[in-house]
Amino acid sequence: MSEATLSPATGSPHGGGQRTGSSLRAAWRNRRTRTLTSLTLALLVVVAVVVVGGVVRDDAAVTDLTQKTLAPSGEHWFGTDPYGRDLFERTMVGLRLSLVVGTTAAVLSGLISIALTLFATVGGRWAMATVNWLIDLFLALPHLVLLILVAFALGGGTDAVVLAVGLTHWPRLTRVLISVAREINATDYVALSRTFGSSRRFVARRHLAVHLVPHFSIGVILMFPHAILHEAALSFLGLGIDPGQPAIGILLADSMRYLSAGHWWLAALPGLALLLIVKLIDRIGDDLRMLSDPRSAHL
């Protein structure tokens, strides 16, 4: 046996490869544990926001003019607004509303993506060309301008925001799903299924749909941050949620009139809370993608 095949540490053949494999497995277990911990903490924070926002919804609407524009304190963590309403409670209600709107819009956009993917796969070349043309068209348009136009055409309001965000966020996910569908169509088991006479619809239903679900789920979660931010932007511009609701965009828009008077907390704290929840949801999507992708074990 030559010395090249011996492990430097043990003198046994292939010992270095075994040690390397053990190190990779240990590193993957450590990374998986850290990812699960991060995912759990992020989910707990999001659930807490939803629960707290639901509990304090009525209290957030109570006005007290003797407590107006108070700075943050132990009694009012985020201070109070010009009507004496607790800004922390209103922020929690607004974040809960943003999560509901963002979830609905992201799911709608995801359903459009998977429907177009299956249509492009089943319909043949003309269907694929049509879907690709639609993707290029929507990606070529300025996204925020398209959002504003759709929301304005629908008359504004919560339903208009959901439809505007849902109808404009599908192109990138559709492109990803089509790429995955092409890889699946090139596999041997799909070719064997077609050899036995399976139709395109059968292949799409029994083979493609099952493999697209994980990518669809993670894509929808990763769409949440964009949906929430765009909902806030439309509400800030007056084309979003009903102004009577404490949406984050409305809170930020209302705060603009009072910043010059030094009431910085009216904009800074709701804005930071929105940024935090967006980053947490983005982290949840990244963690789920890492856990669901076997190739991540080798990174």
pLDDT tens over the chain, length 299 residues: 444 444 444 444 455 555 566 776 666 677 777 777 877 888 888 888 889 888 888 888 888 888 888 889 888 899 898 888 999 999 999 999 888 888 888 889 989 998 898 888 887 789 889 999 999 998 888 888 888 888 888 887 888 888 888 888 899 899 989 888 888 877 777 777 777 776 777 777 777 777 788 888 888 888 888 888 888 888 888 887 777 788 888 888 888 888 888 889 899 999 999 988 888 888 887 777 777 665 544 44
**pLDDT score recorded for residue 237:** 83
What tokens appear for 228 in the block?
A: 């929430």
**pLDDT score recorded for residue 295:** 55
Domains of the chain, earliest start first: 37-57+88-298 (1.10.3720.10)
**pLDDT score recorded for residue 93:** 92
> Rounded distance, CA 17 to CA 23, Å?
10
**DSSP of 62-92, one letter per residue?**
---GGGTTPPP-SSSTT-B-TT--BHHHHHH
User: How many CA atoms are closer than 13 Å to the CA of 182, on its beta-carbon side?
Assistant: 10
